[in-house]
Structure 1
Amino acid sequence: MQDTLHLSPNTTTNALPPKLNFPTTPPNFPSLSRPRNLHYPTLSSTKTTISLPPKPPKTPETPPNPHSEFQEKMLYLDSIGIDLFSLLSTHPPIVSAAAADIKSVVDFLRSAAGLTSSDLRRIAAMCPEILTSKISTLVPIFTFLLREAAVEGSDLRRVIHRRPRLLLCSVESRLRPTLYFLQSIGIAEINKHTSLLSASVEQKFIPRIDYFQKIGFNYRDTISMFRRFPSLFCYSIEHNFEPKFDYFMVEMGRELKELKEFPHYFSFSLENRIKPRHRRCVEKGVFLSLPAMLKTGEERFQGRLEVCCNSSIPVRTSPLWCTNYDDDNAS
């Protein structure tokens, strides 16, 4: 049986439900306030941020101990026979150089040129600056010696041992210009005269050439002398050329052409070789050429004097005069 909806006579099906009337003021509800002793997290209206715990402060790095560094450097140099305190007197910057940098330079010199501890001690005594140089400045010098100066790899140790200062020279401003000058005057085998490469053309070579022209040689003869004996460039004008040339001209009474033929005269000691032997020749009344008088050993020189005194000697203008010392030139 179906239920029947009964409507009042004044109600129509399309009528709205009666309007509900609410009070204009809210009822008095009990206050819900936060307890004063509790704290609630507050969230942002846009996004929630989570604060991470602060990072622990970095502990400062312990600075290197200067005493330990100095001791390491001292012990290392001592291991190759170099006294650090003696080195300080000639090269004070060694005190601030790192031990690791000095080791790197020494290792490079050992591997590149085969230098021994003895060579390193010589370097420290003559050019201590090399020990505090940079490998980046040493590499171009070794490259120059091998490629441009034609030094054999097996000869590098001899070259550096003889002239350590080469390792302190600039390739661009010193080594290469000197090489070109020596080649320009006809010295072809530079690898046999590498010690000259560290010298200045303007300050050392040109003044010596000028001196020989001043004492009577023309430019062609002068260059010929230096070409035959390049070591002339190494000798002092004041302490070598001048006193030896004065003795040659005044006491010995020789002619310039003998020096032209034998420029090696300037390589002998004036006091220990030239003067004593000349005086003995004068005492014996013997005239010997410069090579015969200076190149031979003492025993052979004395034997030469005895032979000349006990036999007739060709006069100086005779073609046979030179035969008396031809065999001595090879000694």
Structure 2
Amino acid sequence: MQETLHFPATPFHLRNPQFPFISRPNRLHLPPKSSAVALPSLPKPPSLIISPENETPPATSPPPLQELLLYLDSLGVDSLYCLHSHPSLIFTPLSQVKCTVNFLFSLGLTVQDLRRVFVMCPDLLTSPTSTIIIPAATFLLREAQVGAVNLRHVIHRRPRLLTRSVGRQLRPTLYFLQGTIGIENVANCASLLSCCVESKFIPRIEYLQQLGFSYKDTIVMFRRFPALFCYSIKENLKPKFDYFVVEMGRELKELVAFPQYFSFSFDNRIKPRHKMCVEKQVCLSLPMMLKSSEARFRDLLEVYCGSSIPVRASPLWCTKYNIDHDHVS
């Protein structure tokens, strides 16, 4: 059936001369309301959202890592250095770090101590407090017999001790130093407890035996001077031993009696003083040549200048001495 179109009184082409022949129906057929599609309202861009001046935005807490770094900074600890040298710090909860800090305070450490130990050993920040740090401190106090007064000094010097497992590392090292080496008071060299027997102690014992020392003499040397375990074979033991044998022409038994020889600076103490002895034609024992102050050493050279090589009973060859641990290699 053809639909009848009703035109308005004024023709469309007269109202709009550009479209003279276009006509439109009088009635529009729209779909039912139920089928109409509602368009979702679009949110305004963030830049167009303007908060009232008197409205304060809600406070947000910093991310966990940022909160941890801010806490370390509040203690004066170089947090960025710790994070760079020990990236696993990213996954460490702040609650664990605070627990460790409080425990170290209970041991007598100060804020200044924390600034040192955390930079020296960032592992201390990530080690579990209850399963690693507290058992290690208990071991040092009870089994290694490090007094409570000296514990702070030990940790300050060697904080890595608190990151070592008691069963796998600390206790085996203690038994080796006591049983094999024969050190009675391990507390005096407690820093060695953080070392590994297989990778640190055994190679140095074997090296001295390769140089011609007997096993017995080697053990005696380490018992008299346990810090010998800490010296590098390549950078310390080898060059000083070669100079001792080749340039100084000394006997091995002098090193057995005075292993502290390896603790003195090669360029600042051993070599220049040996050359001065050669120039003055004076042969001093190792302790007298190396342990004496500069003024005392020069006085000895003047006193014994031109004298013959001292006999075995001379005080110059005395092997009884006080062990000095304060010299830097």
User: More deviation in 84-93 or 180-189?
Assistant: 84-93
In the alignment, residue 114 of structure 1 is paired with which amino acid?
Answer: G
**Any idea what SS the aligned residue of 2:81 has?**
helix
User: Take 1:177 and 1:118, find their aligned partners in 2: how far apart are those partners?
Assistant: 32
- Residue 294 of structure 2: aligned partner: 298
Instruction: Give the CA deviation at 1:98.
Output: 2.8
* 1:133 aligns to 2:127 (yes or no): yes
Amino acid at match of 1:195: S
| Structure 1: distance between partners of 2:214 and 2:257 | 14
1:187 equivalent among 167, 183, 190: 183
How far apart are the structure 2 equivalents of 1:87 and 1:173? 26
Give the 3 Å change call, closer, same or farther, for CA 77–314 of structure 1 in structure 2: same
Distance 1:218 1:65, change over 3 A: farther
Matched residues in 2 for 1:200 and 1:260: separation? Answer: 24
Please tell me whether residue 256 in structure 1 is matched to residue 213 in structure 2. no
Over 3 Å counting, the alpha-carbon distance change for 1:153 and 1:318 in structure 2 is closer
Q: Distance in 2 between matches of 1:169 and 1:99?
A: 21
Which structure would you say has the larger Rg? 1
Distance 1:97 1:66 in 2: 18
Higher relative contact order (CA 8 A, sep 6+): 2
Q: What amino acid sits opposite 1:78 in the alignment?
A: D
Determine the C-alpha separation between the residues in 2 that align with 1:165 and 1:299: 39
Shift of 1:83: 2.4
* Aligned twin of 2:73: 78
Change (3 A) 1:261 1:326: closer
Alignment partner of 1:270 out of 261, 266, 269: 266
Q: RMSD between aligned alpha carbons?
A: 2.2
- Decide whether the 8 Å contact of 1:291 with 1:329 is kept in 2: no
Note the alpha carbon deviations across 1:288-316, whole angstroms, 9 max, x for none: 1100110111122122222222xx63532
SS in 1 for 2:62: helix
Structure 1: 5+ residue stretches without partners: 1-63
Given the alignment, which residue of 204, 210, 223 partners 1:208? 204
TM-fit CA distance, 1:219: 0.9
How does the TM-score come out when normalised to structure 2? 0.75
Trace 1:49-60 onto structure 2 (pairs within 5 A): none
Q: CA, structure 1 residues 156+283, in 2 after alignment: closer, same or farther (shift >3 Å)?
A: same
Which of these residues, 301, 304, 307, is aligned with residue 308 of structure 1?
A: 304
Query: What is the distance in 1 between the residues matched to 2:75 and 2:167?
Result: 32
Over residues 65-108 of structure 1, what are the superposed CA-to-partner deviations in whole Å (9 max), with x where a residue is unaligned?
56354444333212221122222211222233333321221111
Shift of 1:208: 0.9
CA 1:262–1:70: 2 relative to 1, 3 Å: same
Give the AA of the match of 2:127. S
The answer on whether the counterparts of 2:81 and 2:119 sit within 8 Å (CA) in structure 1 is no
Matches of 1:307 and 1:238, distance apart in 2: 37
Distance of 2:320 and 2:183 partners within structure 1: 27
Identity %: 56
1:313 partner letter = S
Aligned length: 264
TM-score normalised by structure 1 residue count: 0.74
The one-letter code matched in structure 2 to 1:238 is K
Partner of 1:54: none
- Which residue does the alignment assign to 1:114? 108
In structure 2, distance between residues paired with 1:197 and 1:318 = 38
CA contact 1:295–1:329 (8 Å) conserved in 2: no
Give per-residue Cα distances to partners, 1:150-176, cap 9 Å, x unaligned.
111111101111111111111011110
User: 1:295, 1:328 within 8 Å by CA — same for their partners in 2?
Assistant: no
Whether contact under 8 Å (2:160, 2:194) holds in the other structure is: yes
C-alpha spacing 1:135/1:280, structure 2 compared with 1 (3 Å): same
Mapped pair 1:178 → 2:173: yes
